[in-house]
Structure 1
């Protein structure tokens, strides 16, 4: 299956279009953005700005995102400059340039510059927030759920043990609904008054479930519980603003859905709350009190960070509402064709408040890691569709589907057709 052939007619001549030609008009309003979601000619022009492999239909885009051609060109220029000028640039001008990158990101996020610090990824940001959180006391507890990222679960376990506290783990309801997820957290808060910190993953990397973070954060705040939000998969996948989440601490990723080079993330600490996070143990000026003292990374890929404005420019050209609507439309297309098929279990709810582009599924009753690894292998080997199996759910393993902006509706139609054939014939190779 050659996905390029699907797009060939639509993208002819569009590969080198300037960014201004990709968008016929400002289309970031809610109504216009949603209306644009099904315009295949428009999205083919966007897709032509990505160099996508011909080898497979790529539906596993959650690991990291692809840079568009303009962003890749900017990154290559930045790599060349950093490599050429080395310390002559680093000690004379790069500091100001990096500060302007932070200023630009803060403006994009709608927060103050002193509320944001760059990291290499969301994991590093969240490790700093979880490991540095100092408001927990012996005998108190932190809460997390089965759908939270494994490294963040481990971080909470280690941090609480170090501080003489404990962790409480809950399994989120399945099937999930907006209300029963809220109720699950409310019940945990009620049953465990010792909870003083909760980790909320805005969009789960396991199933794509989007939590009602604002509502749960409000419940937590009323009980004096602080909230750390893992927004690794939500920034750029769904349209939201940080302030609206109602959390004081957020870890962000910029090389997944925002299309920056690998190695760019950020931590957000709301103004006035930085003292709740200890300075990094390597920071030489822990008394400075600023957010930058909470993360100490050392030498990083400066070219990657310097490319961030180009990535933000490209995403601004697409528009947040249009981008989110397109990813949902791709997801809804294949889910609408397979939900209800005998033998197929779609795990992510259809409520638009509860998902972005990611959705996971399994064959009914097939919950083991081996069975879902085999299912992903069958999709690849027999149908040329690349997905990934996920584990860690209380209910068992699954297969995750993650479309990107370069995917066409024909790509997800091919997935739906493959799943129908698999469900009809039960052709999964169990031994893989």
Structure 2
């Protein structure tokens, strides 16, 4: 919970804390027929029932679901009810009942992440969460180094460069190996720490937004810790599509979003600071007097989207009905259907390896030898204009620009087959 909420609401809200937990969220009731213990990734009849819970535009084949994830219809309907409640009851509700309703939502999210409720706080997204951690990190001294890679998110790279301006930290950067292997990724960070012994902080992206590469974060975090180096983990694209617990991977400082793979309303994120490491992140300037109030004292968002925070409960209910393992398997199945079918095609480069430890829904490609931003913007435009397939170009990778393909759980195999056919045509024409 963010400390922007009126602290006086804690006392009044505690009396209504049971409100959020006294009924099954509408999203869970609507999704009840989807609950199964034997979900298969290739059970298209089952996944068609899941897709029927989403209102997806028929105008395009939507294969750019990495920006944010669509809410399932029952989650959207619940969000509308929360919005009406907040709007109609206004400050009376915000000051007297909201905190009590949100405590169970925070506890539910914490349980899914494998952490204590006081270790997480609401933010308006992963970017705000990560910038809070980076700006608040107080272990750097002039001359220390901070490390980031070409696959890290743009705004977090900028925040690390800010550390040079404001903290006097020197920058160390690396290019992630391509093609990557599980061991080569670990070795790359080990070599970087060998080459830069003054590194005190690493920015590590769990799932890269450019190519979808899944990093061996548990091993890299352990490697860094063994050398006295802290890691700020960007799990924006990981939570909801990969099956993990923060306590199991050993993350101390994590930024997450709820609007991508959890399917919550836009404007909802989480910041995580492990208990015992709170002193490494300064309290927010508005919360110095509340410094012992857990992670919530490290962020201050002002007046956020309370309806969105309430809607997280419904999104989690819908998500848990299907389950992270089933979602992960389905998304990887859809990804493999096109990426592994086309791997080795003479006219195409698939940027993410086939090792399932390193893959997820997102994967990027390019026409062989076409590495410029202009080429890949044009390629994404051609996929849309000629074939009705919406993707997005990505840049900033050391090896060059690319086009990212991101299916969702409502994506069908037919959608993926349309992509395969289109890419075969375009690759043939390019040759």
Indicate the larger mover: 237-246 or 64-73.
Answer: 237-246
* C-alpha displacement of 1:161: 2.5
The aligned residue for residue 32 of structure 2 is: 20
* C-alpha displacement of 1:286: 4.6
Q: State how far apart, in whole Å, the 2-side matches of 1:112 and 1:290 are.
A: 10
Contact kept, 8 Å, 2:367 with 2:430, in 1: the verdict is no
Q: State how far apart, in whole Å, the 2-side matches of 1:167 and 1:347 are.
A: 26
The aligned residue for residue 406 of structure 1 is: 410
Match of 2:428 among 408, 412, 424: 424
The aligned residue for residue 130 of structure 2 is: 126
Aligned ranges 1:46-125 → 2 under 5 Å: 46-125=50-129
The aligned residue for residue 3 of structure 1 is: none
Contact kept, 8 Å, 1:274 with 1:289, in 2: the verdict is no
1:289-324: CA deviation from partner (whole Å, max 9, x where unpaired): 521110000001100000111100000001111000
Match of 2:189 among 185, 193, 196: 185
The aligned residue for residue 292 of structure 1 is: 296
1:132-153: CA deviation from partner (whole Å, max 9, x where unpaired): 0001111111100000000000
1:351-408: CA deviation from partner (whole Å, max 9, x where unpaired): 0000111000001111110000000000000000000000000111000000000000
SS of residue paired to 1:336: helix
* C-alpha displacement of 1:284: 5.4
- Confirm or deny that 1:385 pairs with 2:389: yes
Structure 1 gaps of 5+ residues are 1-16, 28-32, 428-432
Match of 1:230 among 212, 227, 234: 234
- Confirm or deny that 1:196 pairs with 2:200: yes
Contact kept, 8 Å, 2:283 with 2:299, in 1: the verdict is yes
Contact kept, 8 Å, 1:275 with 1:289, in 2: the verdict is no
- Confirm or deny that 1:249 pairs with 2:253: yes
Contact kept, 8 Å, 1:254 with 1:260, in 2: the verdict is yes
Q: State how far apart, in whole Å, the 2-side matches of 1:110 and 1:380 are.
A: 40
Q: State how far apart, in whole Å, the 2-side matches of 1:168 and 1:259 are.
A: 35
Indicate the larger mover: 99-108 or 173-182.
Answer: 99-108
Q: State how far apart, in whole Å, the 1-side matches of 2:32 and 2:293 are.
A: 42
Q: State how far apart, in whole Å, the 2-side matches of 1:240 and 1:102 are.
A: 18
Contact kept, 8 Å, 2:113 with 2:244, in 1: the verdict is no
Contact kept, 8 Å, 1:387 with 1:400, in 2: the verdict is yes
- Confirm or deny that 1:144 pairs with 2:173: no
- Confirm or deny that 1:283 pairs with 2:294: no
The aligned residue for residue 165 of structure 2 is: 161
Q: State how far apart, in whole Å, the 2-side matches of 1:199 and 1:246 are.
A: 15
SS of residue paired to 1:288: coil
Structure 2 gaps of 5+ residues are 1-28
- Confirm or deny that 1:220 pairs with 2:224: yes
Q: State how far apart, in whole Å, the 2-side matches of 1:291 and 1:18 are.
A: 34
Q: State how far apart, in whole Å, the 1-side matches of 2:161 and 2:110 are.
A: 31
Q: State how far apart, in whole Å, the 2-side matches of 1:22 and 1:165 are.
A: 51
Runs of 4 or more, structure 1, over 6 Å off, are: none
* Distance verdict in 2 for CA 1:79–1:410, change over 3 Å: same
* C-alpha displacement of 1:237: 1.5
Indicate the larger mover: 97-106 or 110-119.
Answer: 97-106
Q: CA RMSD in A?
A: 1.4
1:164-222: CA deviation from partner (whole Å, max 9, x where unpaired): 11111100101111111111100000111100110110000000000001111111011
Contact kept, 8 Å, 2:112 with 2:245, in 1: the verdict is no
Contact kept, 8 Å, 2:182 with 2:358, in 1: the verdict is yes
SS of residue paired to 1:323: helix
Indicate the larger mover: 373-382 or 244-253.
Answer: 244-253
TM-score by length of 1: 0.92
SS of residue paired to 1:18: helix
